[in-house]
Chain A
Amino acid sequence: MHIRDKIITAACRIQDGIEWTTLRIKDGTYEIACQGALSSTAHTEMDAEDTVAAMQLPTELSASLKGDLTVALRTAELLTRTMEFPTSDPEEIAEMVGFQIDKISPYPLDQLDLSYEILRTTETGSLVLMVGAKRESIDSIGDTFEEKGVQIHRIDARILGWIHLLRDGGHISNDNCEFLIVDDDIDCSLVLLHKGSPLVLRSLHVHLNAEDLVDELVHELNYTLTTLDAEHDLPSPTAIHFWSNAEISKIVSSELTERCGIDVHTHTLIALPPLSEGMVRRTLDKNECIELIPREWVEYEERKRLIKKFFLSSASIASIWLIVLLSFYTIYKIRDFQYAAVKKKAEAIAPAAQQARQNQEKLQALRAYTDRSQSSLECLREVTQLLPIGDIEFVSYSYTKGKGVSLRGTASNDTLVNDFFLVLSNSKFFEQLKDQSVTTKTTKGVRRAVFSATLELPTKEDQE
């Protein structure tokens, strides 16, 4: 997994406090954002054997440690074993790690947190570094940092950070088999490197000023080689590289060379960057690093992240909802104001409009009185004028102003009626002649044509 656009920090215990390196990763490239150190708040004398958990962390620590935090355990707190597995499948390796650690662990597996790191893949499988740490010590480290409001995201091994720095500095041979002793005043580790990979990681309980230092080291080196003979077919180590803060006396190194038959080279750790830098650089390639963070922590973190995401999503939805609702109500209120404004305007002109409407109605009413063009008299005149000469008479004449005239009558024959209808239909006074009917009936021996018709007056359009 490639880490992008992120801040990661590694914090390591030093003699009198804690030091850290922060990396800023952006677009695949990284830079050291800051490096620093803080002294422990309690001025109690700390033993080098004490774990990070035993430290009194500085109160301002949470402000300094930014991003995902990596802390490291001492070799003394770890159970380690390097083996070649006939597979490089991470899932298969993960299954085998528990079994292998169980073989060397004095504690039951359920009290350990396990992890592994594929050191290199070989033709037949992979060389795997397996690591176990007591859950109790991991929890206490977690609690110590938690108290200061700092959340740990990764737990690594200090010695692996040093190896990373040494490899980066070109101090490790990729061909030979050699011993590496690192004493940083907090942790003293013995590592057997073969082709640059640590085959053995052991904690050394020695003091550089001790009189039996050489005896102890010779014993440890021989023991290491003896245990390895059974497992690996290794060439003889070509050198012992001794890295420490304090200088090793030449007498010690000469005696060690003489008794082991291996050249001893002493170096100072002060020449290297701080350990936290090595740790943080290791973190960049997370897939290949050991990870001792308990699953519960990860799950807890994920749960926290999920809850945060849930609340964020809920808050976003609620905000959007609120915005939508507020927008709606704003629009509604604007419309309400517009409505009120229009209503006010309408009310303002209402009396004048009412007066105007009344005047219009009055005028229309009076115009109907003065308009004689379709009056009853005019209609009667038109109908009677168009009546043909002959025996034709009305039985009923019905006039309605604005509509027209309905006629019923009789005639001596239907020809007379038809002639009457013809002239009526040609009259410009009426718009339409309709419902005309002519029937010939014989009443009391007299045969007459009975007719009816409706004359429609033209519709008058209102002038206003």
Chain B
Amino acid sequence: MKISKNEMILGVVVLAGGLGWVTLNLVEKQMTEWKSMATEMEKMEQQMRLDKRRINMQEEWIAELKELQKNLRAFDINQRTVAPELMKTIKIISNKHGLEITRSQPRNEKPTGDLYELGINCTWQGELKSVINFLADLQRQGVNYDVRTLNIKPVEEKTGKLGGNMVIHCAYTKKPIPSETEKQ
């Protein structure tokens, strides 16, 4: 094999370049994966730190949580929908204070473990006093109800009659409740 010095240098340069190119191609792909892995790892570690803190603090929460959940209304886990019962209860309270709920529209149920929340959009009419008493009554119910939105408009001028809508969030739990036959 005849090879000149220049050819040798060229060969070595080509070899080095070729290997460099191969390395770049191999490494580039892995680097992207590596970077995303590093980011994900950092996220996981951060999440783990947060989770550990949560787990450690859980003891403090559980007592408070139990206390708050104690007063919640419990429904059967197998019950398809609880909205009618809740709307009925709200209706009873509103009637008690002379507030007329003309329309109730339940929203989607939001579960958090065994805790459920359901927003009910109620369109109402009544006097200011009725509204205030109704709101005060709901507030007295403790953790069961929370008015998140309240819109008030005068319905008729000079009569003092008001109207509007409110979104009442209801909190409750769902548990397996044994039927009467099962109890017996």
A386 on interface, CB distance cutoff 8 Å: no
Q: Per a CB cutoff under 8 Å, which of A325, A365, A377, A397 touches B115? A: A365
Within 8 Å CB of B8, what residues of A? Answer: 306, 309-310, 313
**Cβ of B143 under 8 Å from chain A:** yes
Question: Are A401 and B151 in contact (CB-based, < 8 A)?
Answer: no
> In the assembled complex, how far is the CB of residue A328 from the closest CB belonging to chain B, in whole angstroms?
6
Q: Which of B5-22 contact A (CB under 8 A)?
A: 5, 8, 11-12, 15-16, 19
Secondary structure class of chain A's binding surface, majority of residues: helix
Closest to A361 in B: B112
Contacts of B40 in A (CB 8 A): 339
A336 and chain B: residue at smallest CB distance: B37
A362 near B112 with CB under 8 A, answer: yes
Bound Cα distance from A394 to B157, whole angstroms: 11
Cβ of B103 to closest chain A Cβ, rounded Å: 18
Chain A residues near B152 (CB-CB < 8 A): 380, 394, 396-398
A43 interface contact, C-beta 8 A: no
Cβ-defined partner of A358 (8 Å) among B11, B26, B57, B112: B112
Give every chain B residue within 8 A of A355 (Cβ-Cβ).
58
Between A and B, how many residue pairs show CB distances below 8 Å?
168
Residue of A nearest to B38 (CB): A335
| Interface magnitude class on chain B | 35 or more
**Interface window among A5-13, A112-120, A135-143, A343-351:** A343-351
The residue in chain B whose Cβ has the minimal distance to the Cβ of A377 is B135
Interface size on A, residues (CB 8 A): 57
Pick the contact of A400: B38, B64, B148, B154 (CB < 8 A).
B148
B117 pairs with A363, CB closer than 8 A: no
Chain B nearest CB, measured from A436 CB (Å): 19
Alpha-carbon separation in the docked complex, A332 to B23 (Å)? 14
Extra contacts besides A314-B15, A365-B117, A396-B153 (16): CB < 8 Å: A307-B1, A309-B8, A313-B12, A328-B30, A339-B40, A353-B47, A353-B52, A362-B69, A369-B171, A372-B139, A375-B135, A375-B139, A375-B146, A380-B132, A398-B151, A399-B147
The 7 closest A-B CB pairs, nearest first, are A353-B51, A356-B54, A397-B152, A399-B150, A377-B135, A376-B147, A369-B143
Query: Can you report 17 residue pairs joining A to B where beta carbons are below 8 Å apart?
Result: A307-B3, A310-B12, A317-B19, A325-B23, A339-B37, A342-B41, A346-B47, A359-B62, A359-B113, A370-B142, A377-B136, A377-B139, A380-B131, A380-B152, A393-B154, A464-B54, A464-B57
Residues on B facing A (Cβ under 8 Å): 1-5, 8, 11-12, 15-16, 19, 23, 26-27, 30, 34, 37-38, 40-41, 44-45, 47-48, 51-52, 54-55, 57-58, 61-62, 64-65, 68-69, 112-113, 115, 117, 131-132, 135-136, 139, 142-154, 164, 166, 169, 171
